[in-house]
Amino acid sequence: MAGKKNVSRMKGITKRDLRAFLLGMLAMFAIDMVTDWKDNVESFKKGFRDGIKSYREKN
């Protein structure tokens, strides 16, 4: 062996990586909510009504 090459190895997941990932997920969630606001509101209202109806049928 004439000489060892300096091989860089992956170090692992850092706090910086996690913060970047979570910020990206939050940004995607916010963009999705804004661009599809009407459908999100309608789905929430339908789910809320169905939940109340189900609760009243059981009690």
6 falls in which pLDDT band (50, 70, 90)?
Answer: low
Could you count the other beta carbons within 10 Å of the beta carbon of residue 30?
10
Quote the pLDDT of residue 41.
96
Residue 35 lies in a domain: yes
CA–CA gap between residue 58 and residue 36 (Å, rounded):
33
| In-domain check, residue 2 | no
Q: What does the angle CA 15 – CA 20 – CA 23 come to, to the nearest 5 degrees?
A: 120
What is the tally of structural domains in the chain?
Answer: 1
Model pLDDT for residues 24-59, shown as the tens digit of each residue: 999 999 999 999 999 999 999 999 999 999 999 988
- Residue 4 lies inside a defined structural domain of this protein: no
pTM value? 0.59
